[in-house]
Amino acid sequence: MLQCLAVVLEKAVQQESAFDSPWSIADAPPDFIERLTGSIVGIELTITRLLGKWKISQNQPEPNRDGVLQGLRAQGTHRALELAESMEKFFGK
């Protein structure tokens, strides 16, 4: 359970750090964290092949895609800006 909690902590910090008011695991009640980590099953995999697939709102109307692009730019992180740039190239903007 402690190993799962460590992964949850690491991922929460990683994913929330881009926001002005990031959520912290310390904000959650201890019983919630206990239930959360009790529901997680950790596994280790050896990757032998990796195939990628784009899911960049290509099935959405242009105004929705523009909103996604604005949101990514507003985040301002390297990853978000890189994704926005890739989307713009894909959609010919």
Range of the domain at 20: 2-38
Please check whether residue 43 lies inside any domain of the structure.
no
Within a domain: 78: yes
pLDDT at 1: 66
Residue 54 included in any domain: no
Nearest to 78 by CA among 31, 30, 18, 5: 18
Q: What is the pLDDT of residues 71-90, one digit of tens each?
A: 999 999 999 999 999 999 99
* pLDDT, mean of residues 49-75: 94
The structural domain count of the chain equals 2
Percent of the chain whose predicted confidence (pLDDT) is above 70: 99
Q: Pick the most confident of 4-8, 40-44, 65-69.
A: 65-69
Among 41-45, 57-61, 64-68, 77-81, the least confident range: 41-45
The model scores a pTM over 0.75: no
